[in-house]
C-alpha cells in the first residue's frame, strides 16, 4: 500500500515536471501564432499559393454572445438601480474553501528516467519516442527549474 502510494506520488511529480516545459513551450507557441498570422496576412490580399504552403483570408459575420462583463454593462444601462445592486453583489468577497496537496521529492532523492518514461508512455508515446524525448525535455525542465520553487502544489478540492 505504502509503496503503491509512493509510486503514484512519484508519477505525479514526474508528470508535473514534464508538464512544465511542455506548457511553457505551448504558451510561447500560442502567443507567437497570432503575431505570425497577422504579419503573413499583410503580405497578400485574399489568396496565396506558394510551392509548399498556401493561405486565404476569409471574412465571416458571426453572431456571438456577449461576455459576462458586456452583459453586466448592458444590464446596468437598462436597469441602473438593479445594475448597481448586481455590481455590489459581484464585488462582495466570499470565503471559498480550497484544498491543496503540496508535493515534491525528499531531500537527496531523484526521479528516475524510467519514472519519466512511464509518464510519457501513459501519454501515448511509444517506448522509443519516450526515450528520444526524455533527454530534451529534461534539459528544458532543468533550465526552467532554476527559475521556480521546487515545492509544488495542486488544488484537489
Residue 63 class from Cβ within 10 Å (0-12 exposed, 13-18 middle, 19+ buried)? Answer: exposed
83 has a pLDDT exceeding 80:
yes
Annotate 113-145 with DSSP letters as a single string.
HHHHHHHHHHTT--HHHHHHHHHHHHHHHHHHH
pTM: 0.64
Q: What is the pLDDT of residues 41-70, one digit of tens each?
A: 888 888 888 898 889 988 888 888 999 999
Out of 11-25, 27-41, 74-88, 143-157, pick the least confident: 143-157
Annotate 50-107 with DSSP letters as a single string.
-SS-EEE--------PPPHHHHHHHHHHH-HHHHHHHHHHHHS-------EEEE-PPT
What SS3 state is found at 147? coil
Amino acid at each position: 500500500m505504502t509503496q503503491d502510494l509512493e509510486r503514484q506520488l512519484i508519477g505525479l511529480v514526474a508528470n508535473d515536471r514534464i508538464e512544465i516545459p511542455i506548457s511553457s513551450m505551448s504558451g510561447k507557441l500560442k502567443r507567437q501564432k497570432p503575431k505570425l498570422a497577422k504579419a503573413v496576412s499583410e503580405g497578400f490580399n485574399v489568396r496565396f499559393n506558394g510551392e509548399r504552403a498556401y493561405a486565404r483570408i476569409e471574412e465571416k459575420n458571426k453572431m456571438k454572445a456577449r461576455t459576462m462583463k458586456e452583459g453586466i454593462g448592458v444590464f446596468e444601462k437598462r436597469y441602473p438601480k438593479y445594475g448597481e445592486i448586481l455590481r455590489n453583489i459581484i464585488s462582495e468577497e466570499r470565503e471559498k474553501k480550497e484544498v491543496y496537496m503540496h508535493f515534491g521529492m525528499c531531500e537527496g532523492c531523484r526521479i528516475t528516467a524510467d519514472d519519466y518514461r512511464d509518464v510519457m508512455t501513459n501519454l501515448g508515446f511509444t517506448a522509443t519516442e519516450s526515450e528520444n524525448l526524455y533527454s530534451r525535455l529534461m534539459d528544458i525542465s532543468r533550465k526552467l527549474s532554476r527559475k521556480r520553487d521546487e515545492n509544488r502544489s495542486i488544488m484537489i478540492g
